[in-house]
Amino acid sequence: MQIGVLKEPEGEARVAIVPGSIKKLAKAGFSVVVEAGAGLAAQHTDAEYEAAGASIAPRATVATSAVLVGVRFPDDLGFAEGQIVVCVADPFREPARVRRCLADKATLLSMDMIPRRLSRAQSMDVNSSQDNLAGYKAVLLGASLTPKAIPMMTTSAGTVRPAKVVVMGSGVAGLQAIATAKRMGAVVYASDVRRSAAEQIASVGGRFIEVEGMDDFEDASGYAKPLTPEFIDTVNRTVCEVARDADIVITTARIFGRPAPVTVPASAVAGFKRGAVVVDMNADVGGNCEATVPGQIVVTDNGVTVVGTVNLPGTLSTTASMLYSNNLTTFLTSLVKDGGIVLAEDDDILVGAPEGNPLHVPGMGGVWICRAGEVHPRQTRLGGVL
């Protein structure tokens, strides 16, 4: 079965499969054809792919492959009946993509729907692998833009106090941000609406910010639940008060399939000290900070720098591509049976845990979004937006 590796659209530097994954795919029975130049932005030449056993072809040829893989959904392509498309499709926010696949009778497997609570899915979890890098890069961006040194320094000219970093949200990205800032020598404070995160924050060197009325707002999939407006306001006020004298504030709060919650209102930014840097990790889905401008770095009237860089993992394209490729390769090879891809109705990774299972998330389903012109029956939540 042929896998076609597509070149990503303008602005996306990652590539779905790197040369190092070709041998494992070939061993599983796949042949791989790569669009010319697909890996260049991630520092992989066509010659490297050919040396690894892949072939190079123009986009039109790659697009005829039985399996099309990418990081982004290929909006410019039509699909053949029965063709399998594997990418980060963001189906809840982009239902038109699902409608496209339904109309073409193609199968859509969306990698951002990996059920992260399943232990065997962890090696396929693109959200976690990319979020890790995003958390790391957010700290580097903040450190590069703050006018203050990060670690404590004792010099003959005086002692430099360590920078104060506040991380809002402590999932995968947040924990990596905390650990990175701590390694750089900062004093790190962190918050989360999941009480279980307090121990995790402490384990990587952060100080947990207690919020009055906090409960464990975590759903069965490991994501934060939607919060009441009243509690959001309490969290905002408490954490932003801690951040008033921070040098770097990193926002990571993301709710699966929904716009990012506002955790730093404009009024809070107005109270931050001059020279502070806010790195908004969710600029692509609305932003956590009201002052964020997606894709831009802006300075407010009171001298606060707000970073709205989108696609932080893509700024580390070589490493991000390697991790994504490992996730995708593990996923694809797990589906192979008798020389072909088999989509099994009882595979929890594909369709989500059944009702009654502790890992079941109503309406969320799994990676398998649609096939042969029909939304998968487990995707009830998706069915509501199509």
Mean of pLDDT values over 242-261? 91
Q: Which of 2, 55, 122, 334 is catalytic?
A: 122
Q: Is 219 noted as a catalytic residue in this protein?
A: no
Query: What domains does the chain contain, in order, with CATH numbers?
Result: 2-124+317-374 (3.40.50.720), 131-311 (3.40.50.720)
In which band, very low, low, confident or very high, does the pLDDT at 380 lie, cut at 50, 70 and 90? Answer: low
In which band, very low, low, confident or very high, does the pLDDT at 326 lie, cut at 50, 70 and 90? Answer: very high
Instruction: Assess whether pLDDT exceeds 80 at residue 225.
Output: no
Structure tokens at 35: 């669009």
Give 171-209 pLDDT, tens digit per residue: 999 999 999 999 999 999 999 887 778 999 999 999 999
Dihedral, CA of residue 111, residue 115, residue 119 and residue 122, to nearest 10: 30
Q: Is 112 noted as a catalytic residue in this protein?
A: no
Angstrom distance (rounded) from CA 141 to CA 100: 37
pLDDT at 384: 60
Angstrom distance (rounded) from CA 47 to CA 106: 31
Instruction: Assess whether pLDDT exceeds 90 at residue 241.
Output: yes
Q: Is 296 noted as a catalytic residue in this protein?
A: no
In which band, very low, low, confident or very high, does the pLDDT at 358 lie, cut at 50, 70 and 90? Answer: very low
Share of the chain above pLDDT 70, in %: 90
Give 38-97 pLDDT, tens digit per residue: 999 999 999 999 999 999 999 999 999 999 999 999 999 999 999 999 999 999 889 999
Share of the chain above pLDDT 90, in %: 75
Q: Which of 110, 128, 176, 325 is catalytic?
A: 128
Q: Which of 104, 125, 131, 247 is catalytic?
A: 125
Q: Is 116 noted as a catalytic residue in this protein?
A: yes
Q: Is 99 noted as a catalytic residue in this protein?
A: no
Q: Which of 14, 72, 100, 116 is catalytic?
A: 116
Q: Which of 200, 223, 254, 378 is catalytic?
A: 223
Structural contact between residues 121 and 350, judged by C-beta atoms closer than 8 angstroms: no
* DSSP single-letter state for residue 225: P
Secondary structure of 306-352 in HEC code, one letter for each residue? EECCCCCHHHHHHHHHHHHHHHHHHHHHHCEECCEECCCCCCHHHHC
**Among 84-98, 148-162, 362-376, which is the least confidently predicted range?**
362-376
